[in-house]
Amino acid sequence: MQYVAVDGYGGDKAPYEIVKGVEQALESISDLFIYLTGYKKELEKLVKDFPKNLRERLEIVNATEVIRMSEKPSQALRLKNSSMALGIVLVKQGKADAFVTAGNSGAAMALAMFTLGRTKGISRPAIATLLPTLDGQMLMLDVGANVDCKPQHMLEFSIMGAVYIKYVVGVKNPKIAILNNGSEPGKGNQLAIASYDLLHKSKLNFIGNIEGDEIYRGKADVVVCDGFVGNVVLKVSESIPDVIAEFLREEIKKSFWYKIGFLLAKPAFGVLKTKTDYSEFGGAPLLGIRGACIISHGRSNANAIKNAIFKALKFSKEKVNDKIEKTVKNCAVLNQLKGAVRP
């Protein structure tokens, strides 16, 4: 049996869509057991109509509080009976192999770090996210856990990203790039320049710097940046299609023929939904944490939760953490820095 703890009260559509996602996952995988955390009474009502063969592979773990999306990580740490904290504790206890939440990612990172600790050899765990490219997908990290970084952290992100996309997503020999304001070596801020040197010396498949306009063209499989830049890029990227749609919507109203044309072509726009549908990407892993934790998008629907559970299982099954630990241990460049900055 494989065990996953799921935060029943994480995200905008909790608990209804979370429960539905859990049901779909249980249907798809016959040896899956789910611990669902949250307000037990309410959750019981939602699962009471589950078929018996699903219900018997589900345990509800009662929580007395919920971490809000606006909660500060430092505050969240005190909410020890929250649906999120209890899910992570289940991983710590070895009852669950992995944890999934669509809740507050900063809080999840803080709780996971505090409860599970860091992967050996990693000084800065990171949040990574899969994003669509013209011909597939790529992993960007960090997207918010570490706003001020040192070159060493960028090297750690690169190693973790490479291991994750290789074993969980299945990209062979992933190409790693530093997000930069210029493509030539020597370009960038102090962090990018020093990180370039480290990555260049490492044995990773480092392809150099890429600029902002190259991210979505699929030039690299892993795009490395500090969490400040990553977070801003992620949010800018998510907002632009919406802004474009609003511009278009206003314009299409202006003519009958535009409306007809748009109705005819509308299904084609579905491709954008599919390509940018976070629910298909299966969530953002916390990398560098001693445990498999996946943060699903705050707007997660059932499908997103189901896919996040799949990714969490793969994360656990592939022993991503062991592989990161091993790669870090064998990384001469990182070992040389040990004395200087590493914990």
Does residue 341 belong to the site contacting its own copies (CB under 8 A)?
no
Task: Show the binding pattern over residues 101-140: x = contacts its own copies (CB under 8 A), - = does not.
Answer: ---------------------------------x------
DSSP 175: -
The phi, psi pair for 72, rounded to 5°, reads -75, 140
Structure tokens at 267: 């299904």
Tell me the three state secondary structure of residue 342.
coil
Tell me the three state secondary structure of residue 133.
strand
Task: In whole angstroms, give the CA distance from residue 123 to residue 121.
Answer: 6
Residue among 114 and 247 whose Cβ is closer to its own copies: 247
Residue among 45 and 217 whose Cβ is closer to its own copies: 217
Task: In whole angstroms, give the CA distance from residue 114 to residue 121.
Answer: 16
Q: What distances in angstroms separate CA 326 from CA 86, 127, 153, 322, 329, one per listed residue? A: 29, 20, 17, 6, 5
Selected from 267, 332, 339, 343, the binder of its own copies by CB under 8 A is 267
Residue among 169 and 233 whose Cβ is closer to its own copies: 233
- Would you say 296 and 11 are in contact if contact means Cβ atoms under 8 Å apart? yes
Element (H, E) at 322: helix 320-329
Task: In whole angstroms, give the CA distance from residue 240 to residue 258.
Answer: 22
Residue among 173 and 257 whose Cβ is closer to its own copies: 257
> Token match 């249907």: residue?
27
Structure tokens at 285: 């892993």
Q: How far is the CB of 210 from its own copies (least distance, A)?
A: 10
Residue among 167 and 216 whose Cβ is closer to its own copies: 216
Does residue 8 belong to the site contacting its own copies (CB under 8 A)?
no
Does residue 214 belong to the site contacting its own copies (CB under 8 A)?
yes
Does residue 261 belong to the site contacting its own copies (CB under 8 A)?
yes
Residue among 51 and 212 whose Cβ is closer to its own copies: 212
Structure tokens at 47: 């699962």
Residue among 168 and 220 whose Cβ is closer to its own copies: 220
Q: How far is the CB of 283 from its own copies (least distance, A)?
A: 19
- Would you say 59 and 47 are in contact if contact means Cβ atoms under 8 Å apart? no
> What is the footprint of its own copies within residues 135-164 (CB under 8 A)?
144, 147-148
Task: Show the binding pattern over residues 227-256: x = contacts its own copies (CB under 8 A), - = does not.
Answer: xxx-xxxxxxxxxxx-xx-xxx-xxx-xx-
Structure tokens at 244: 């474009």
Element (H, E) at 143: none
Q: How far is the CB of 226 from its own copies (least distance, A)?
A: 8
> What is the footprint of its own copies within residues 168-207 (CB under 8 A)?
179-181, 188-190, 192
Structure tokens at 203: 């044995």
Task: In whole angstroms, give the CA distance from residue 169 to residue 137.
Answer: 9
Residue among 115 and 279 whose Cβ is closer to its own copies: 279
Selected from 50, 65, 69, 216, the binder of its own copies by CB under 8 A is 216
Residue span binding its own copies (CB under 8 A) among the ranges 1-9, 28-36, 77-85, 270-278: 270-278
Q: Which residues of this chain interact with its own copies, rule CB under 8 A?
A: 134, 144, 147-148, 179-181, 188-190, 192, 211-217, 225-229, 231-241, 243-244, 246-248, 250-252, 254-255, 257-258, 260-272, 275
